[in-house]
Structure 1
Amino acid sequence: MEHVGNKIEAPKLGEPYLLTPGPLTTSIAVKEAMLKDWGSWDKDFRAVTQEIRQRLLTLLGQGHEDFDCVPMQGSGSFAVEAMLGSFIPEDGKALVLANGAYGQRSAKTMEYLGRDFVLLDKGDYLPPRGDEVAKILADDPAITHVVAIHCETSSGILNPVEEISEVTYAAGRKLLVDSMSAFGAVELQPSEVHYEAMVSSANKCIEGVPGFGFIIARKDELEAAQGNSHSLSLDVHAQWAHMNKTGQWRFTPPTHVVVAFLEALKAHEAEGNVAGRGARYTRNRDVVVAGMRELGFETLLQNRWLSPIIVTFFCPADENFVFDQFYQLMKDKGFIIYPGKLTVVDSFRVGCIGQMDEHIMQQVVTAAKESLAEMGVASAAPPSAALEERAKLAA
């Protein structure tokens, strides 16, 4: 994509904007970086891998010297499983904090690993809070680790990891953070938030393409992880040790994805790193939320919990509203939205990340307005029961 003034223009490829939490709309420069083939053992590719690792560490800010970065092939869920299986030993026990699908997925991963855990499930509307975590830790001394989702993209909640971290370490336990959809746009500096390890993915806020994730962990935790992993392929310690010794990935890396990610990291730096990227996403969120509310839509979450990553909207109560038709109408206008992932009410999601700015988000609102008119929807207001449920749970 090209910048014209303060606007981001759509690529001339006839492709729609992806209003999703990743994969997302990428720049032409990122796409073009994938046009060259690379040898995974070649010194030039090893240099790319090392530069990526170092650039990611610098995004942590003060205190990053105590950490190292371990790229891991596969989707974000591969990296999460690698983190859980490598840093929670067989005799450990985790408190998994869930308020949506991705906390639940961590719990399911713990089941597959055969590692002991307890689940705090807050449902779709609310974040886990520090006092709740503190009580559970006080009541169960066997818990060794807390697993927290930074931004729960099934609802769009930005969880309060700072207060979760405070009570975790006050109780002498360790924190692992799934920052899959927040890292790169929401600060997670170890000088401000104490944690042992975090994970994210290439195709999120850095604006690369899918194919690998990365684990950023304290060096002493990486050392201690030797022998913990349940998996040959997902052994974080083994990957880390091999990379540090040879500069190579243990198994065939997604070479094109890795090189594209370096291009994305350079653009991230040019935009102002985490602060700059987060500011653009925040503007995107503010414009789409204000515009959609003006049409009658309402957000699942109260303002204080809205993340700059993705926003969940209730589906309208109007009987003429059919989500599949709305989805297709939006796609025809150049925007791919995301189906809802809630268990209680019908909803859909609009992502705020990727190569988009507030001008594009205003176009999203216009497309939604036109789509409602084409469907004959007189009001985008949600069912009263949905608002009552939100108010009850938020009280």
Structure 2
Amino acid sequence: MPAPLLLTPGPLTTTRTVKEAMLRDYGSRDGEFIAINTRMRARLAELVDAAGTHVAVPVQGSGTFAVEAMIGTLVPRTGRLLVLVNGAYGTRMVRIAEVAGRSVTSIETAENVPVSPAALDAALAADPDVTHVAVVQCETTAGLLNPVDEVARVTARHGRRLLIDAMSSFGALPLSRAAVPFEAVAASSNKCLQGAPGFGFVIVDRDALAAAAGNAHALTLDLHDQWRGFETNAQWRFTPPTHVIAAFGQALAEHEAEGGVEGRGRRYAANCRVLVDGMRALGFETLLPDAVQAPIIVTFRMPADPAFAFDRFYDGLRDRGFVIYPGKLTVADSFRMGCIGDLGPAHMSAALDAVKATLSAMGVASGRP
């Protein structure tokens, strides 16, 4: 049986050529592997229009490792972090700061409500001790797109520094240093850039990174030390995920061939439109209004039909070739379906056919909540 298609926020379905790039073994000190890393780091900074001011620093592990490295390295031990929270990933940044021993506070909104630049403005005016602000660009708890451009303007006006978790949006949604001034942005290899999971990266202001020596709370998560290693010999300090990096080099080439951020974002937006329109036609209701829905992952409310059971629905779709995601909300009983990966509108139409067949097999008349 062919592998099911992943309608998830990552790991996700990759191209055959990305998979094949992992078939070759590289020595971590080999010149060809070092060249892949050098090209990768340069391209990542270019993707956010930051090649002249920022450097890309990769970190072993999942995207959360990169977020923890970003917070632990850039927020000084005497600093204070303000996190804008409207989902699990904002909450996770608060916890990261607490574990790292950093002073942290938060402004919380509901999981289906964008973060508030006005509330941020008031909080920064009231608390001069805040040195850094952190926000999630696309909060995949609900699939919500936060107004990072407005958050950036408020943060800059108060002379504070912005840290962005762009894990689920980097490479598909616009993010330019010229329009969104940030000190650092964290993302990973296995989301919209369509690589394999295994490492994250932080694109960070060079001057801020140079000033961060000694800040980090963990040796392996020290971005400054990692950066100095790359600057010294272009090598990782510790054993890198060589196969994943080789695949990511291929994924970056395919991303550029598709038209970069604009091209990939256009395909994902088309996927999202097909999915949302088709699910609504079956009676399903989206948690979010279209105005704040990111074309990354869509949250649907659970059907009210007593014949519906999520486990059976999940298994039915899995048997028909599609893997979806359970909900992660506290505000509503829900499930999620992703729009990203090596998928196009035809795949989304096939997924809708699988949803129809599964509902019919379960005896569910409508997806209406």
TM-score bracket for the superposition, by shorter chain length = over 0.9
User: Aligned partners of 1:357 and 1:72: how far apart in 2?
Assistant: 30
* Counterpart residue type for residue 81 of structure 2: A
- What corresponds to 1:51 in structure 2? 39
User: Aligned partners of 1:173 and 1:80: how far apart in 2?
Assistant: 18
- What corresponds to 1:381 in structure 2? 368
Q: What do residues 347-367 of structure 1 show as CA deviations (whole Å, max 9, x unaligned)?
A: 110111000001111111111
* Counterpart residue type for residue 359 of structure 1: A
- What corresponds to 1:265 in structure 2? 252
User: Aligned partners of 1:66 and 1:111: how far apart in 2?
Assistant: 29
Q: What do residues 40-99 of structure 1 show as CA deviations (whole Å, max 9, x unaligned)?
A: 0111111111011011112123x4311111011000010000000000001111111111
- What corresponds to 2:9 in structure 1? 21
User: Aligned partners of 1:114 and 1:204: how far apart in 2?
Assistant: 29
Superposition deviation, residue 114 in structure 1: 1.1
Does residue 232 in structure 1 map to residue 219 in structure 2? yes
**Please, which of 370, 386, 392 is the counterpart of residue 357 of structure 2?**
370
**Please, which of 211, 216, 220 is the counterpart of residue 203 of structure 2?**
216
Superposition deviation, residue 151 in structure 1: 0.4
User: Aligned partners of 1:52 and 1:309: how far apart in 2?
Assistant: 23
How many residue pairs align between the two structures? 369
Does residue 276 in structure 1 map to residue 263 in structure 2? yes
* Counterpart residue type for residue 37 of structure 1: D
Q: Give the match's secondary structure for 2:180.
A: coil
Does residue 166 in structure 1 map to residue 148 in structure 2? no
- What corresponds to 2:132 in structure 1? 145
- What corresponds to 1:108 in structure 2? 95
Q: Give the match's secondary structure for 1:327.
A: helix
Normalising by the residue count of structure 1, what TM-score does the alignment of the two structures yield?
0.92
Contact 1:93 1:145 in 2 (8 A): yes
**Please, which of 82, 91, 114 is the counterpart of residue 95 of structure 1?**
82
Superposition pairs of residues 1-395 of structure 1, within 5 angstroms: 14-61=2-49, 63-382=50-369
User: Aligned partners of 1:215 and 1:57: how far apart in 2?
Assistant: 9
Contact 1:54 1:69 in 2 (8 A): yes
- Percent identity (aligned): 52
User: Aligned partners of 2:126 and 2:368: how far apart in 1?
Assistant: 43
Superposition deviation, residue 344 in structure 1: 2.7
Question: Cα RMSD over matched residues?
Answer: 0.8
Q: Give the match's secondary structure for 2:52.
A: helix
Contact 1:86 1:235 in 2 (8 A): yes
Q: Give the match's secondary structure for 1:64.
A: coil
- What corresponds to 1:4 in structure 2? none
Contact 2:305 2:366 in 1 (8 A): yes
Runs ≥4 residues deviating over 6 A: none
* Counterpart residue type for residue 319 of structure 2: D
Contact 2:14 2:196 in 1 (8 A): yes
User: Aligned partners of 1:292 and 1:230: how far apart in 2?
Assistant: 46
Normalising by the residue count of structure 2, what TM-score does the alignment of the two structures yield?
0.99
Contact 2:110 2:331 in 1 (8 A): no
* Counterpart residue type for residue 221 of structure 1: A
User: Aligned partners of 2:106 and 2:340: how far apart in 1?
Assistant: 29
* Counterpart residue type for residue 345 of structure 2: E
Unaligned stretches of 5+ in structure 2? none
Unaligned stretches of 5+ in structure 1? 1-12, 383-395
* Counterpart residue type for residue 120 of structure 1: I
